[in-house]
Structure 1
Amino acid sequence: MSSHEQAIVSLLSNFALSFDGAVLGLTLAYAAVRTIVKFTSSSSALSKLQDAPSVRVSDLRSVLSVEGGSDSESDSSNRSGREELVIVRGLVEAKSAVEGVTWKSLRQNVLVSQDSGDRAVIVQRTQTCIYNEWKGFFGWTSDLRAILSRSLRERKSSSLRTVPFVLIDGSQWPAADYVVVNMDGSKHHLPLTTVYHQLQPINASPYTFLQALFGHEYPVGLLDEEKILPIGKDVSAVGLCFLKNGIPEIKSCSDLPYFLTEMTKDQMVIDLAFRTKILFWSSILLGSASIGILGFAFVRNWNRWKEWRQRRREEQQQQSRAAVDEPNTQIAEDELGDVPDGQLCVICLVRRRRSAFVPCGHLVCCQRCALSVEREVSPKCPVCRQPISNSVRIYDS
């Protein structure tokens, strides 16, 4: 790890631990909430998956219930019956192969792999450009670019071609029963098979030398991949199934993490149960950690606030004492000077007698010493030793 990366890591760690870890605690709390939401969704999907019937294509019509005896003539093109969540197991086949014997069936609507020649219904071609980065003689440019922005150049390009396809029962041919796979709106992972994988090096050019000199990214290889969903592959379709024009059709369900998969129902249940358990314990761990860190941060900041409040109170008391002592100091300075011995304060013997004690009435102290006597735990007159309540300043007319 370079010194610049270490500085970034140190900055992020200091930010996460600021306010005695409150930022880190809030981040963990957010992650815990997200994990709980995912756990709830995964638990619901697991419950639906366990209750869904698993059938072959030939047995699919037995689990579909149709509302009404027959459709009206105006609704003959619409789907009928209510949607049922099912798991259908069958072989992949092009839809044109089961539509009937017509002139279209002489040339089946299928895709052919460019490199392997396999017949398929889905072909995904991906090209990934692999870049190398040398800091060069001006390495700070790459570090600055890594912090401020990502490279705007596309590193990966992908193309996906599909044709309408169905699932059939492999034991019956020609296919009497089949289910149409509706791919509209599906964003689930597809069980594609890799048939071509090759890494081709890219020859360097004079421009590449300039890119490397100034620390810019430059291409070194091109990874070309081709994945297909071949005809005849045994897969499971998990989704909502309904009848459309009397033909079963299945579409993906956004609440489930599977649509087309090679796994059986038991394998999907085991996989989803394991993921649900991981999310459950992760939510507990993240929630406990966030509560502990936030509790520690709250206690520390609460104690700091009380200390700050105590210091503020002490400062205010000191300021109030200084405000009281300031006029006393001015008065004491006025009382200094040539004072006859009979009028000197009996305590300090420096200033003139100006304050009389209540209730005894003795005029024997200056105002500063009288205030000092009043602040004692049990104030008493220095002459008669009688308890006093306060003192009164005496002014000459």
Structure 2
Amino acid sequence: MSSHEQALASLVTQLAFSFDGAVLGVALAYAAVRSFLKFAAGSKALGKIRAAPVLRVSDLRSLLDAPPPQSDQEANSELDRSSISDRKLVIVRGQVEANSAVDGSWKSSLRPNVLVSHESGDKAVVIQRTQTCLYNEWKGFFGWTSDIRAIFGKSWREQESMSLRTVPFVLLETGKWPQSEYVVINMDASRHPLPLTTVYHQLQPIDASPYTFLQALFGHEYPVGLLDEEKILPIGKEITAIGMCGSRSGIPEISPCRDLPYFLSDMTKDQMVLDLGFKTKVLLWSGIALGSLSAGILSYAFVRNWSKWKLWRQQRLSQQSREETSDPPLLDSEEDVTDVPDGQLCVICLMRRRRSAFIPCGHLVCCQVCAISVERESSPKCPLCRQLIRNSIRIFDT
């Protein structure tokens, strides 16, 4: 670790442990609250998944009450824009198939609406292509800024561009063809991960150029490789759909539920329950551990700062009372201002006799009035040796 990294790490550590660890305690408390909120959401989703029935595709029509058909064109368009009626949370496992395969129109038979992978040639309903440019940082002669950035992030930088193409698809009951019963998958407003299969993965190195050498010399990022990856949801894959099922124009349709972490998955219901149950337990115990640790740190910080504040206030009150009660001392005799040899005059006022010696340096250079004024300064120092003083003492002649 370089000197810049050590300095920044020391600064971050001092910030975290400032106010006797109060900042660290607040950060841990925030993480604990986040863990408990995620645990509550996960527990709610787990309860919904356990209560959701597992149905076959052919059982959906008997479960839902289909709306009556309407012949009026305006009524049909209004029905298409309306939300799905009689929405119920169900779990359906079936086989992926393009919507054009069950559409039944002559256009779909001539031009099937499916996607074809450019790399593997497989037919799919979802194709995700990702191109990632990998960057590297070399800490060059003038690249001290990269040392600071290395504290918060990896030395490898990634910049990716992703394209996602989808076509309407349905789920068919596994092992039966031709299919008369199917359920439409509605992907609108879905941010859930998809069970995609990787069919292409290749890393191509990028040749260095003179400009790359200059970038490395001055500590800037420069590209080192290009990663191409293609994932698809192939036709014929068996997946599980969990979501709100309703009927649109007499056809069952499943849409995602925002309260659930799954929509389309390779897992069965039992596997989802086990996976989500383990995650909720981890979140619960993480929240308990972080909350206990933050409570201990905050309690310690509160006690320490409260004690420091009481001590500071006590010292402040005593100093104020001392300043209010200590008036400038009266002159002992007329000899303090008359007939004083030059070698015994106060070095500050040059009027009175030297009467007070400073502690700890011991210099006898000031009168009692000037010594008290020096003590009341924010940083009292001896006028002769400039050493910090704690107090002064009155010297009496025999």
| Structure 1, 311-320 or 190-199: larger mean CA deviation | 311-320
Structure 1: which amino acid aligns with 2:39? F
In the TM superposition, residue 138 of structure 1 has moved relative to its aligned partner by 2.1
SS at match of 1:122: strand
Which residue does 1:194 correspond to in 2? 198
Q: 1:250 aligns with which of 254, 261, 269?
A: 254
Does residue 89 (structure 1) correspond to residue 93 (structure 2)? The answer is yes
2:254 partner amino acid? I
My pick for the range that moved more, 303-312 or 207-216, is 207-216
> Does the aligned pair in 1 maintain the 2:8–2:148 contact within 8 Å?
no
| TM-superposed deviation, 1:171 | 2.6
The equivalent residue for 1:373 is none
State the match for 1:221 in structure 2.
Answer: 225
TM-score by structure 2 length?
Answer: 0.77
Q: CA deviation at 1:54?
A: 1.2
Do the aligned partners of residues 82 and 215 (structure 1) sit closer, same or farther apart at CA in structure 2, a change above 3 Å counting? same
TM, length-normalised to structure 1: 0.77
Q: Aligned AA for 1:267?
A: Q
Count matched residues.
330
C-alpha separation in 1, matches of 2:153 and 2:24? 25
Structure-1 separation of matches of 2:145 and 2:317: 53
**Does residue 1:139 correspond to 2:126, yes or no?**
no
Q: Which runs of 5+ in 1 are unaligned?
A: 337-397
Tell me the amino acid that sits aligned with residue 63 of structure 1.
L
Which residue of structure 1 aligns with residue 5 of structure 2? 5
> Any residues of structure 2 matched to 1:133-282 within 5 Å, and which?
133-143=137-147, 155-282=159-286
Corresponding position of 1:343: none
Q: Structure 2: which amino acid aligns with 1:47?
A: G
State the identity %.
Answer: 64
Letter in 2 for 1:264: T
Mapped partners of 1:227, 1:148: distance in 2: 31
Residues 56 and 307 (structure 1 numbering): CA distance in 2 closer, same or farther, change over 3 Å? same
Report the secondary structure of 2:230's partner residue: strand
How big is the shift at 1:203?
1.4
Equivalent residue number for residue 128 of structure 1: 132
Letter in 2 for 1:313: L
**Matched-pair contact (CA < 8 Å) for 1:127–1:224:** yes
CA contact (8 A) 2:241 2:264 kept: yes
Question: Is the alpha carbon distance of 1:257 and 1:55 closer, same or farther for their aligned partners in structure 2, counting shifts above 3 Å?
Answer: same
> Cα distance 1:265–1:276, how it changes in 2: closer, same or farther (>3 A)?
same
- Tell me by how many angstroms 1:154 deviates: 7.2
Match of 1:294 in 2: 298
SS in structure 2 of the partner of residue 173 of structure 1: coil
Deviation at 1:183, TM superposition (A): 0.6
- RMSD of aligned C-alpha atoms? 2.6
Output the CA distance in 1 between the equivalents of 2:320 and 2:221: 63
d(CA) in 2 for partners of 1:20, 1:251: 51
CA contact (8 A) 2:135 2:225 kept: yes
Following TM superposition, by how much is the alpha carbon of 1:58 offset from its aligned partner in structure 2, in angstroms? Answer: 1.5
1:71–1:80 contact (8 Å) kept in structure 2: no
Shift of residue 196 of structure 1?
Answer: 0.3
When Rg is computed on C-alpha atoms for both structures, the one with the higher figure is: 1
Is 2:50 aligned against 1:50? Answer: yes
